[in-house]
Structure 1
Amino acid sequence: MSDGPMRILCMGYCFPPVASPEAFVTSKTMAAIPDAAVDVVTAGASLFPQPPDHSLDDYVAKRFGRIERIDGTFLRALGKISRLPLRPDRYMLLTNAAAARAEAMGPKTYDCLVTRSQYHSVHAAGRQLKKRHPSLPWIACFSDPWSGGTYDRRIPLLSAFSRALEYSVLREANALVFPTAEMRDHFQSHHPDPDISDKSHVIAHGFDPELYPQSAQQRKDGPIRLGIFGTFYGPRSPRHLLEAVDRLAVDETLPDFRLETFGLGGEAFKRELAQFGDASDHVSHGGILPHTAALDRMAACDILIISDAPTPSRSIFLTSKIVDYLGTQRPLFAITPQGPTQDLIERVGGWSVDPADIAAIATTLANAIRTVAAGQAASSAAVRNEYRIDNIGRQFRAVLDRVIAEGAQDT
């Protein structure tokens, strides 16, 4: 290991100001590694269809060193072409450029390489770099499934190529990091050989207390404010939540409440809402908020809501949004199947209900509203603190120390 701080070369296509949950997760996680200097190779925000989010610009500038962003007129078309049939994803076209940019940064001067996906194609660039520098310890991190995911659509030849790349990354990386044990097991089940158990590590996403209002906000008089943040898409629909609100809107024994929603797809959400006449007076859509503004708005809510899609078996996901919610110290209500999200909600002291149980959604939400209105909601500070980003950073540092030490023994 080099003298002074650990030098880390991080490659990930989602990094601020790219407006995506993975960008926020990567910046917080990598910045929290103790006694480390982190440089980054990433994709420019112009390569993505959504407008950039500059709310973390100062946060990133204070915590990272050199940041190389890949851009170009041809590459900007990547974010504009819908349903581009590339696997594992459209950003596979960045592989050579990303590897070349990382090579120019002098990999031999770093203690380790970290690749982070969402956008699994970044691991192809990391793999190229590892081949050129076999003694450079490589840690590959996965926030989402690769093959066999909910939204995975098979394409002849391309899907086979993607699965082979996934296998190579799992086999060749020195260490693998997953946000949940269920995610780790999903990868292992799709590639039983090689056995990845010895080099797999489960490190959750974390929240940074510095990004929230520093004075605790007390509940204000008026309606109970329910907040849900994020985009509805595919099987993740607002219908079940709106059905529950529609039922509760006519319950005269219930304290007054309002549901505020934020995220992409406002027009589609409003069309869905129009089908629930009684709910309309209780629900609003606030559009898209910059990340730090969203954290502020979360902290002003009385109850924060997660609404996940139903799954045929135990879920493997712990959405990063619920970790953002933990930083607010607000009561949590989750419409979610059995899995890591439900487990966390129950541990922290919130309310959870299966998305398939429509009647229970309304009943449980009514219970949550009454409990909060009575000032009786409580949550576990000890469980919340497990997800503080400084704790997550120390866990990540321990993995890096171990992998680097093992590499030194092999040389």
Structure 2
Amino acid sequence: MTGQSGSGRHGVSVVLTVESADAALAETLADLAAQTLDPARFEVVAVVADDRAAQAVASWRGTVAVPVRTVAVADARSGGRRWGMAAARQRYVTVVEPGERLGPRHLELLLAAARPGAVAVAPVATRTLDGARHARTRATVQLIGWAGGQTTFAELPAAAAHGLGRIVETECARSVPADLAGEPLVAWWAYVIAAGELRVRVVDDVLGATVVEPAGPATAPERVARHLDAIEAVRRLDALVPDAVPALDRVVELEAGAIGALVNGSPEAWRDASSAAEARSIARFPRAELNAGAARDLVIAYAFAPFVDTSATVVARRVAVGGRPVDVVTQDMTGRCAVDPAADLLVDDVVGLRMVVGGPPAWASWRHIEAFTRGAIEQIEAREALAGRYDSVYSRAMWAASHVVGALYKVRHPEVPWVAEFSDPLQFNAEGERRLGPITASAIFDEIEAACAARGVPRTESRNLFEWVEKIAFALADEVVFTNPNQRRFMLERSPVPALVPRVSERSRIAPHPTLPARFYDLEASDYRLDPGTVNLGYFGVFYSVRGIGDLLLALDGLTDEQRARVVVHIFTDKPDDVRPLVAAHPAAASVRVGPYVPYLEFLHLSTRFDWLVVADARVGAIHGVNPYLPSKLSDYRGSGAKIWALYEPGSALSREQVDARSELGDPEAIQLALERVLEPAPDGLAVTPPADRGAR
């Protein structure tokens, strides 16, 4: 059946595809009957798939002044839209589904915004599974922001999202190819807008024109599947309208974000949705958008992947092992740290929104830290305005600025739990020197200090950044995390406010650096050459005044020529040119190779190829009274499957770790003896303590 477009009639045809007669259809028909638009300016074209549906529409037709025509088809879902367009007689057309709820002025406002060469759009409210309504989707917020305005599809991809509340010239709608007629409405409208190069006009009265979508499937998995169907359909448009691919990508992002919002608050539902998306192998699937929609937890990490920094890597590992979606606020570390794009593979599965603050990165400049704090809070508040308050906040320092943001957030949102982790003591460096960073006059400082004072915490007089950051975390955080017991003891004995020690003791926990699952060790292969037929030992680490491998070199010197020929020590460090001359001075230099650090994921894979991995303590016991450090490399080594040899300082955290072998620093003879045992053919090598359970590889 065909109809005339009636180009001289500035009216709208409402195409209603009906698969069955039910309460949802009755609701939509009642809303159509209540429209304020003159009945002479619109018609209803009902495409029906069975007799009961046809009878329901026929009965309703007898009660309204609106022209109603019925088109019978075998399958209303796959071909109904196309037949409805063919039967439309008004200049403009819109698509309505049973179960949609339309405000009385919906058609009137849409038609008032309609223009040739444009699509007019009204925002869409969605229903939760319990039937409640809300309208805080990203697509809806975008549309509301353009109320009464006109723009392009590239600028406003929400013009296709949801697929409801749109009106366009009938001839334009008829241009959709037959094989797209049954596609989800999101993809159908995306094609109409992109192929027709239509402008996007948003209605003036967004509240009056809002349409509430049908309830849809009853279960979350079914609703996830519907969004994934829409994403797959939009992806199929890439080849049909290649110039519109950037806009189509953003439509897909909105749909992925809608999936995240749907499973929001349920880690199990998020994992199921993620698995469902992966099973479809959708090209360029925006996993970050799905995660951002689901994220209820915030991570504050001044340094974060893909920047190359030990603190950035450890936070990324925490996030990866956590296994739940998070948003991250971080600093742009350009100019301070190198970039390793592959490092993002650590967190792509779980990180949603990345809120990156610009400006110069700074270790101790209060002016720059304050700027970071303001920028971070501004972006966090903008995000929460769209998605609601976070359920928890976690920050981690070596970079002190992370805890400044965490503290200010906690002051302003005391109901949200804040977890503050210290990787190392902040007040003192490894050489025992006090770190200094003056805090100048600052509203942020005063606001946080006032909150501390309200809790009975004495005011900070020294205005030293590093002392102050320890204080505010001890005073305000709901939980304080240390990486080892020595670190906790050291920091509490030197607490800037001794009165806070009982509070921190009660609220703190020990959480060693996490070990990644085995799959991360195979993400990026290394072609670094290891000598076959020799015992290969790997050492990855930074050298400074209290950490080195001089004892190991001396032990190598003590071996016979024949023994040294059977062992190679591979050193990877940040300043290899400084280390090579030190090694060259030793008789054992031929048995040592020195090179630069390799990218983190390559390092993980390379670590699996060594016979032994060497980890060394910093020698700080005499300086600090207790060694508060636990090398982060140890946790990486644990996942490699290689044997671990610890060179420890007595009483350190490393000295108590379960490893395959241990030797005391300062005793090169004992280390030489251990090396000799490395070269013995016994299958258990020199395992003098039970090996740690590193999991199957």
TM-score, normalised to structure 2's length? 0.49
- Runs of 4+ in structure 1 displaced over 6 angstroms? none
**Partner residue in 2 for 1:226:** 537
Equivalent residue for 1:161, pick from 464, 470, 489: 464
Moved more, 308-317 or 90-99: 90-99
* Equivalent residue runs for 1:233-312 within 5 Å: 233-248=544-559, 250-252=560-562, 256-276=566-586, 278-311=587-620, 312=622
1:188-227 Cα shifts (integer Å, max 9, x gaps):
212232111111011111211211249xxxx985110011
- Secondary structure at the aligned position of 1:52 is classed as coil
Give the drift of 1:383: 4.0
Amino acid aligned to 1:63: V
Does residue 350 of structure 2 align to residue 60 of structure 1?
no
Q: What code does the residue aligned with 2:644 have?
A: L
Amino acid at match of 1:261: I
Is this contact kept in 2: 1:17–1:45, CA < 8 A?
A: no
**Are positions 1:144 and 2:424 aligned together?**
yes
1:69–1:120 distance in 2 versus 1, CA, 3 Å:
same
Counterpart residue identity of residue 12, structure 1: A
The 2-side partners of 1:146 and 1:102 are apart by 26
CA distance in 1, matches of 2:374, 2:471: 20
Partner AA of 1:44 in structure 2:
D
Query: Secondary structure of 1:66's match?
Result: strand
Per the alignment, residue 8 of structure 1 pairs with 297
Paired residue for 1:408?
none
1:343 equivalent among 656, 667, 678? 656
Name the CA distance, whole Å, in 2 between partners of 1:29 and 1:199. Answer: 20
How much is the aligned-residue C-alpha RMSD, in angstroms?
2.7
CA deviation profile, 1:166-208 (whole Å, cap 9, x unmatched): 2122111111111112212222212232111111011111211
Distance (whole Å) between structure 1 residues aligned to residue 342 and residue 398 of structure 2:
20
Letter in 1 for 2:499: D
Residue 40 of structure 1 deviates from its aligned partner by 0.2
Q: Trace 1:28-177 onto structure 2 (pairs within 5 A).
A: 28-34=317-323, 36-48=324-336, 50-72=337-359, 75=360, 78=362, 86=365, 91=369, 94-106=372-384, 108-151=388-431, 152-155=433-436, 160-162=463-465, 163-177=467-481
Q: How many residues align?
A: 363
Deviation sequence 1:210-248 (CA, Å, 0-9, x none): 11249xxxx985110011012212321232222222222
2:308–2:340 Cα contact (<8 Å) kept: yes
C-alpha change, 1:147 and 1:331, in structure 2 (3 Å) is same
Whole-Å separation in 2 of the counterparts to 1:93 and 1:271: 42
Give 1:102 shift.
Answer: 2.4
- Which stretch shows the higher mean deviation, 205-214 or 220-229? 205-214
Deviation at 1:109, TM superposition (A): 2.2
Q: Deviations over 1:282-327 (max 9, x none)?
A: 1111212000111111111111111233222442222110111111
- Matched-pair identity in %: 26
Distance 2:374 2:331 in 1: 13
Higher relative contact order (CA closer than 8 Å, sequence separation 6+): 1
Residue 634 of structure 2 is matched in structure 1 by 322
Distance in 2 separating the partners of 1:62 and 1:31: 8
CA 1:202–1:154: 2 relative to 1, 3 Å: closer
Partner Cα separation in structure 1 for residue 661 and residue 425 of structure 2 = 27
Q: TM-score, normalised by structure 1?
A: 0.80
1:182 has 2:182 as partner: no
Residue segments in structure 1 that go unaligned for 5+ positions in a row: 79-83, 389-411
Q: Distance in 2 between matches of 1:24 and 1:243?
A: 32
Matched with 1:398 is none
Alpha-carbon contact 2:565-2:591 (below 8 Å) kept: no
Alpha-carbon contact 2:304-2:311 (below 8 Å) kept = yes
Contact 2:400 2:469 in 1 (8 A): no
Q: Closer, same or farther in 2 for the Cα pair 1:284/1:119, shift >3 Å?
A: same
Partner in structure 1 of residue 515 of structure 2: 207
Q: Which runs of 5+ in 2 are unaligned?
A: 1-263, 268-294, 440-461, 524-529
1-side partners of 2:507 and 2:335: how far apart? 33
- State the structure with more CA Rg: 2
Aligned residue for 1:396?
Answer: none
Once residues 653 and 318 of structure 2 are traced to their aligned partners in structure 1, the CA distance between those partners, rounded to angstroms, is 19
Q: Conserved in 2, the CA contact under 8 Å of 1:310 and 1:354? A: no
User: 1:19 matched to which residue of 2?
Assistant: 308
Contact 1:9 1:40 in 2 (8 A): yes
Provide the residue aligned with 1:353 in structure 2.
Answer: 663
Residue 395 of structure 1 corresponds to none
Match of 2:103 in 1: none
Amino acid at match of 1:96: R
Provide closer, same or farther for how the CA distance between residues 161 and 220 of structure 1 changes in structure 2, counting only shifts above 3 A: closer
